[in-house]
Amino acid sequence: AGAYWRGDENREMLQRIYATAWKDPKQLKAYKKMMEEAKKRDHRMLGKQLDLFSIQEDAGGGLVFWHPKGARIRTKIEDFWKDQHTSQGYDLVYSPHIANLELWKTSGHFDFYAEGMFDQMDVENEVYQIRPMNCPFHCLMFKDDIRSYRDLPIRWAELGTVYRYERSGTLHGLMRVRGFTQDDAHVFCLPEQLEDEIVAVLKLTQGILSRFGFNKYELMLSTRPEKSVGSDKIWDDATAALVGAMDKLGWSYGIDEGGGAFYGPKIDLKIKDAIGRTWQCSTVQCDFNLPDRFDLDYISAEGTKERPIMLHRAIFGSIERFFGILTENCAGDFPFWLAPVQMRLLPVTDAVYDYCKDVAAKANKLGLRVEVDRGNERLAKQIRNAEKGRIPVMSVVGMKELEEGTLAVRSRKLGDLGSFSVDDLLAELKQCDEAAVEMTKMGEVPQKEEEESE
């Protein structure tokens, strides 16, 4: 791979050489097999093949265009995320994409993160900055009212799109982009509430990730670095709360001594995919910096003003990156509840086309994503196209189905499942969609198994 001297694109281009070393031929063979599998699962290739998303160079590198099928999957992901958060006591919020530069100076981003920010813009003799993060906006919202200890904890969640300057040589599909949507949330709480809030965040993280098939995790606790803000006591208490939360759940973890941010300790969670790779996704981060910088306070039971504890957390990290990881994990063969097209009807003759359209309309009213093949190809080609499109369920529709009001069902994973009435089939598919399970056979919707983290 090419690399610029000292990372400067104005300097000479060098050739980077990668190498690996293995203890024995068996390990090398396993590594080669994993690399071959990873190549077949490359989300950039699958994104093109399945018409999910694109990066349009005419618009600029690192900017994602979501095509209809990819947008359907993204919508399902975001809707599930919102439902899970509101059910756990979070309020959803929205905030602007730009703000006066003074805000970013107050937050410290301009001083500590300027290299990762786009250039500023002049607006009526004031300087504005497109946002690289969402945190300062939530601080302003907290400060907008007088808060009592009785109001805490306050939990705010936002799918907030941010923009960060990344060098063109570092951009990589959905994994490294310049505009992306963080599944951001901030919890403002009392010191004595912190451990319980962290436990709740970790349980919510487990529940959400398991829905997408991620049940194996690696956790790392990052502790106080040499340069930091905040007293010894607040660091010790926050670290103890993070440790206590993981211990309560019985989760094992490693320790990265001195690896925390200057403003607080954190837990990082890496998920394992289908071929054994680990991906950094979720973070739970204590912050002693922003409450001070924004002078946040609440009125205590004694009537004094006190600083709240601020907890940053993200579960996916970003929608774009998680989508890329998910695509590679399932090799583009999305589970039924996420599939952009859940069932395709394949008309054998033009005489059944209207029947297929009526069935599709009925399914769509139920919230199912069903489409009708245009019927321009021979049946064998229609079936191959549905297979290549990784559509979970298909139905070949002929005169027999029209006359009987039925559908002959074929599962991509299980083969022919038989012939069923339209109403019975759609009811079954709706159950599978809501339960996030695959259709196996009629009348027996399987229960989704829950697995504990490792």
The amino acid occupying position 197 is E
User: Minimal CA–CA distance to 196: which of 235, 234, 152?
Assistant: 152
Half-sphere exposure of 306 (CA within 13 A, CB side): 17
DSSP class per residue in 177-197: -SEEEEEEEEEEE-GGGHHHH
Instruction: Judge whether 344 counts as a catalytic residue.
Output: no
DSSP code at position 126? E
Q: Is 85 among the residues known to form the active site?
A: no
Q: Are 147 and 308 in contact (CB under 8 A)?
A: yes
The residues pairing with 444 across neighbouring beta strands, listed in sequence order, are 441
Active site residue 172: no
Q: Check 186, 224, 344, 390 and give the catalytic one.
A: 186
Contacts for 115-124: CB closer than 8 Å, 24+ residues apart:
115/165, 116/164, 116/165, 116/166, 117/164, 117/165, 118/163, 118/164, 118/165
User: Three-state SS for 309?
Assistant: strand
Q: Which of 74, 109, 178, 266 is catalytic?
A: 266
184 φ/ψ angles, rounded to the nearest 5 degrees: -85, 145
> Which residue is catalytic, options 76, 109, 164, 344?
164
266 is catalytic: yes
Question: Does residue 378 have an active-site annotation?
Answer: no
Instruction: Say which of 131, 178, 312, 369 is annotated catalytic.
Output: 312
Q: Looking at 69, 72, 74, 135, which residue is catalytic?
A: 135
Cis status of the peptide bond prior to 68, with omega within 30 of 0: no
Encoded amino acid at 223, one letter = T
> Which residue, chain included where needed, has tokens 């489409």?
371
Q: Please say if 184 is a catalytic residue.
A: yes
Instruction: Provide the 10 A C-beta neighbour count for residue 135.
Output: 23
Q: Please, are residues 274 and 239 in contact by the beta-carbon 8 Å criterion?
A: no
Residue 312 annotated to the active site: yes
Q: Which amino acid is at 189?
A: C
Separation CA 367–CA 437 (nearest Å): 16
DSSP string covering 418-437, please? EEEEHHHHHHHHHHHHHHT-
Catalytic option among 129, 182, 206, 285:
182
Residue 354 one-letter amino acid: D
Query: Which position among 109, 178, 184, 268 bears the catalytic label?
Result: 184
CA 187 to each of CA 53, 246, 291, 309: distance values in angstroms, whole numbers, following the listed order: 33, 18, 12, 8
Tell me which residues are annotated as active site: 135, 164, 182, 184, 186, 266, 312
